[in-house]
Amino acid sequence: MKKIFILIAMGVFVTLMSCTDKPAEATKEVIVVPAAPVIIVKDPPEKTTTVTLDKNGVKVSTKKVAVTVKQ
């Protein structure tokens, strides 16, 4: 009787211990790589700025420049 009781108690103990085991947490390393920089290529237009000096003062005028960004 004592042997059966001890075997049952040990079986319950082993079962409880195996059920309470927590699974190992997996850690993941994340490497963040910055995106490649966007390179803007434009040809400078000829003579973009005009400066005019007269008796009324100085006038500065510029031409509009079109800029396109390609990704």
Give pLDDT tens digits for 15-33: 877 766 566 677 888 888 8
Which value, to the nearest 10 degrees, does the dihedral of the CA atoms of residues 39, 42, 43, 47 take? -130
pLDDT of residue 55: 81
pLDDT of residue 44: 67
pLDDT tens for 34-70 read 888 888 787 766 766 777 888 888 887 877 777 777 7
* 8 pLDDT higher than 70: yes
pLDDT of residue 33: 86
How much is the pTM? 0.30
* CA atoms within 13 A of residue 32's CA, in its CB half-sphere: 1
